[in-house]
Structure 1
Amino acid sequence: MSERIEHNGRLFAIIIPATFRENGIRFFTPDDFSQQLAYMCRPTGYCIEPHVHNPVPREVVYTQEVLFIRSGRVRVDFYDDDQRWVESRDLGPGDVILLASGGHGFEILEEAEIIEVKQGPYAGDNDKTRFVGHRPESNA
């Protein structure tokens, strides 16, 4: 089962745990997301027809990113647009997360290897606003 992190009716993230299994193909994102996330489980011998992707003009306003945790443990902290902590989740080996909106920060709980995929080109200092995030002590 996948998990959706939502706050005030807004989707912050989609988490696909390493244990997720389903036959066929399953898209987790709506068609209008600039980053699409799907899971596929196909049997031996199944063929995906050769294809090319057509040039389609797209406008990307907000960066969405996908992280694949290869090893270790990572805590993800979610923040609203006012930079207030909302909630946290721990991720482990094989977990995948799509960060769709809101703010986020990470603490490496055990040395981790992480693969990140996001839209480009990278906009340098204009790409993000950094802030000091505070989690309530009772939840740290």
Structure 2
Amino acid sequence: MTSQTGVESVEYNGVKYAEIIWAHQTVEKTTFFSPDESSFQFGLLAHKAGFEEPPHYHQPVERTISDLQQMFVVQRGVVVVDLYGDDGELLREIEMHAGDAVVLIHGVHAIRVLEDMQCISVKQGPYLGEERDKVFVDFDKS
């Protein structure tokens, strides 16, 4: 796990499993934390008062995505995101509060709600239904 002033990477066996952006993280200018080649781009946008970006759109470009990633941004309440390695090892329990965000890049995750919560969830589409989208895992906890 590496930390850089409010942004943490969760890594295991040389593989990045998640990026956490804590609510207190600030940047002076727009900063993206994902590598350019990542299929899921995330960062913090920061501009001084008076900044204006001209009207624009993003060009439609065909992309192939095989590594579905997901981002949670907690709006209210408290939730714990458990991250597991491919081998079932519990890597991290991330207790998240309002304003905290996590990008789930690889591996298995579970959530536990400690206080009634609401969060924004963002992932690539299209949604193919739970039967094709999710694989439930039962790690042996003995």
Of residues 6, 9, 12, the one that matches 2:14 is: 9
Q: Calculate the aligned-residue CA RMSD, in Å.
A: 1.5
| Structure 1 unaligned blocks of 5 or more | none
Higher mean alpha-carbon deviation, 100-109 vs 40-49, is at: 40-49
The TM-score normalised by the length of structure 2 is 0.89
Aligned counterpart, 1:77: 82
Q: What percentage of aligned pairs have identical amino acids? A: 34
1:114 is matched by which residue type in structure 2? C
Q: CA deviation at 1:116?
A: 0.3
The TM-score normalised by the length of structure 1 is 0.91
Q: CA deviation at 1:49?
A: 2.2
Of residues 113, 120, 123, the one that matches 1:115 is: 120
Of residues 109, 123, 128, the one that matches 2:134 is: 128
1:7 is matched by which residue type in structure 2? Y
CA deviations 1:9-54 (Å, max 9, x no partner) are: 1111111111011111110101111110010111111111221111
Find the residue that maps to 2:30 and give its secondary structure.
strand
CA deviations 1:78-117 (Å, max 9, x no partner) are: 1111333222111111001111101100101111111101
Aligned counterpart, 2:67: 62
Query: Number of paired residues?
Result: 136
Kept in 2, the 8 Å contact 1:76–1:88? The answer is: yes
